[in-house]
Structure 1
Amino acid sequence: MKDWTGILRLEAEERDSRTVARNVYFQGAFKVMRPIYHDDSGQPCYYLLNPGGGYLDGDRYHLGISLLENARLTLTTQSATKIYKTPNTPAYQETEISLKKGSYLEYIPDPLIGYEHARYDQKTVIRMEKGASLLYCDSVTPGWSPEGTLFSYDTLRLRTEIYMDGELAVYDHIKLQPAGQLVNGLGFLEGYTHLGSMLFIGEEADAGLLDELYSAVHPEPDGVRIGMSLLNVPGLAVRILAHSTQAVERIQAECHHLVSRRLFGRNPSFLRKY
């Protein structure tokens, strides 16, 4: 198998009521900043960095995150993930996440931007023990092209598998292929340009929490469509269609704040860098 362009592994544990890194390893075009503790909750925030500035033809990245029992961690990015022209081989990112009982991970990256003739394949596999919690976000936006047209990328594919105690609990597959889909009209994105998703898995995710989220984001702001549903395991899914990155992030942030208040009685810090 071809060597990875960038590798990052992070294992965290609870120690003296704080979450700290037990092991950190990275090489190539993948790095992580020192943790930031935004408040006295003991939950650190780690920022992922891509020193190369974007994903190029044939790039391959591997991210591994492991939280031991009762560890709590926020993971985000320093900037958007930019996928540039990939004429020969799609860029690829594989993420493996392990969450032990009582742990909680917030994974809230900046948007994925596909530029002209970009091809990208993302696979995320999350293995959770019962009693662990997860808040996982994704968002996709079309990048700039010389002609100024939207949806000039070739293919963006995002696959997410979530296992609970070894059993497949959630499978989410998003494949955007403008040449074969009517992504700019009725039938797929319904005329919207930006797509956002949020999954929350945890024992607190019930019909009451879904109602709270619905009340927090409805009525829908102009130019935004929001769908919510419960999952077969304790959890819920939120899908957002909008015309701007800011609109998607605003809805995700409102949901994030509500979940954080429900779980820990705290308001999370603003994660974006602008």
Structure 2
Amino acid sequence: MIVTGSSPWAAAEALGTSVPELAAFQDEPPQMKSGTVGKTGYLRLGFETRGSRTILAILERRVPYLAQRALYCDQEMPGLASIFLITTTGCLLQGDRLALDIQLGRGAQAHVTSQSATKIHGMDTNYAAQTQAITLAEDAYLEFIPDPIIPHRHARFVSNTQICVAPSATLLLSEILRPGRKHHHPDECFGATIVSLSVAAARPDSRILFREKLVIEPERFAMRQTGVMNTYDVLGNVILCTPPDKADRIFEQVDSDIRLTDGVAFGVCRLPNGAGLIYKVLGRDTAQVKAKVREFWRIVRKEVTGADLPPPFLWR
């Protein structure tokens, strides 16, 4: 359990000291101590319905985390509030601590994404930590689909996502992990020191739905082996929390397959306690994985809201 302190980003600080896989990386950066101003970003987004629209009713921020305003650029869902997450530093460095808090009121609908990929620079001391808290009230709908995570060589990164979702709400949470800058240097492909990603979900009455944790330590465990990544480079992990009747209909529409000639594998299974579905994709390049995630996203949106996806942006 992560105990928060007086500041919102204290949870990110506590996270890195509480997980055993980061016990060896508690030294402080000589450039600037962890947890100082400029290295502790915080962003709180609160969405509420106003008439036929969802508005961004609450916006609290601390650099390097930033969001500007809600956009209404989705022609298929005109009332959907779209937000781009921005980090003014452009990357994560050793000693950085980020905290994100997203809250949706009853019936609110929002799409949250990032300005670009999350790049985690190489580190020789300490680590970067991130906490994410997502809370959905009854009948709320959130698409949280950021761009991929790119851990550079010798990167150390830990992330923890805590979800509180009402039984009638829907959360589509996507996470795409790249192997690094594989075309930049041979040692960049799976060259990170450690990447630790965990997610847990519960109901508003604190009943636990599920937990999942992925720990990647390429220096200790080979990535190019059967049961891990084999010949694949990119992992897509999509969690869908939604009512059981919607989950059943979506499950029937999603394929599971291994296409060796195309270099892609994907599959869907059910989350415990009637929480929803989990969809995983392996691919040799990012475009393949993003395309399969988009297929799943389209099915989810159509089934839950009745709306289709707009055409993808040219730069996506």
| TM-score (norm: length of structure 2) | 0.81
Structure 2 gaps of 5+ residues are 1-9, 11-34
What amino acid maps onto 1:111 in structure 2?
P
**TM-superposed deviation, 1:41:** 3.4
**TM-superposed deviation, 1:192:** 1.2
CA distance in 1, matches of 2:156, 2:271: 30
CA distance in 2, matches of 1:256, 1:206: 13
Tell me if the contact between 1:58 and 1:86 (Cα under 8 Å) persists in the aligned partners.
no
Q: Deviations over 1:98-137 (max 9, x none)?
A: 1111111110010000101000000000111221111000
**TM-superposed deviation, 1:266:** 1.2
| Identity value in percent | 26
CA distance in 1, matches of 2:289, 2:271: 21
Q: 1:117 to 1:219 in 2, by over 3 A?
A: closer
Tell me if the contact between 2:257 and 2:267 (Cα under 8 Å) persists in the aligned partners.
no
Q: 1:271 to 1:26 in 2, by over 3 A?
A: farther
Tell whether 2:283 aligns with 1:242. Answer: yes
Match of 1:89, SS state, is coil
Tell me if the contact between 1:195 and 1:241 (Cα under 8 Å) persists in the aligned partners.
yes
Q: Which residue does 1:155 correspond to in 2?
A: 194
CA distance in 2, matches of 1:171, 1:238: 15
Tell whether 2:59 aligns with 1:24. Answer: yes
Q: 1:272 to 1:97 in 2, by over 3 A?
A: farther
Match of 1:58, SS state, is coil
What amino acid maps onto 2:194 in structure 1?
T
Tell me if the contact between 1:76 and 1:271 (Cα under 8 Å) persists in the aligned partners.
no
Q: What is the aligned counterpart of 1:198 among 234, 238, 247?
A: 238
Q: Deviations over 1:205-264 (max 9, x none)?
A: 3333212012xx757471011121012214111111111111110000000011111112
Q: What is the aligned counterpart of 2:293 among 233, 237, 252?
A: 252
Tell me if the contact between 1:184 and 1:193 (Cα under 8 Å) persists in the aligned partners.
no
Tell whether 2:73 aligns with 1:34. Answer: no
Tell me if the contact between 1:181 and 1:188 (Cα under 8 Å) persists in the aligned partners.
no
Larger CA deviation: 261-270 vs 62-71: 261-270
Q: What is the aligned counterpart of 1:136 among 173, 180, 202?
A: 173
CA distance in 1, matches of 2:208, 2:147: 27
CA distance in 1, matches of 2:115, 2:102: 17
CA distance in 2, matches of 1:265, 1:23: 27
Q: 1:272 to 1:155 in 2, by over 3 A?
A: farther
Q: Describe how 1:168-183 pairs up with structure 2 within 5 A.
A: 168-183=208-223
Q: What is the aligned counterpart of 2:109 among 51, 69, 72?
A: 72
Match of 2:254, SS state, is helix
Structure 1 gaps of 5+ residues are none
Equivalent pairs, count: 272
Tell me if the contact between 1:205 and 1:236 (Cα under 8 Å) persists in the aligned partners.
no
Tell whether 2:151 aligns with 1:114. Answer: yes
Q: 1:140 to 1:236 in 2, by over 3 A?
A: same
| TM-score (norm: length of structure 1) | 0.93
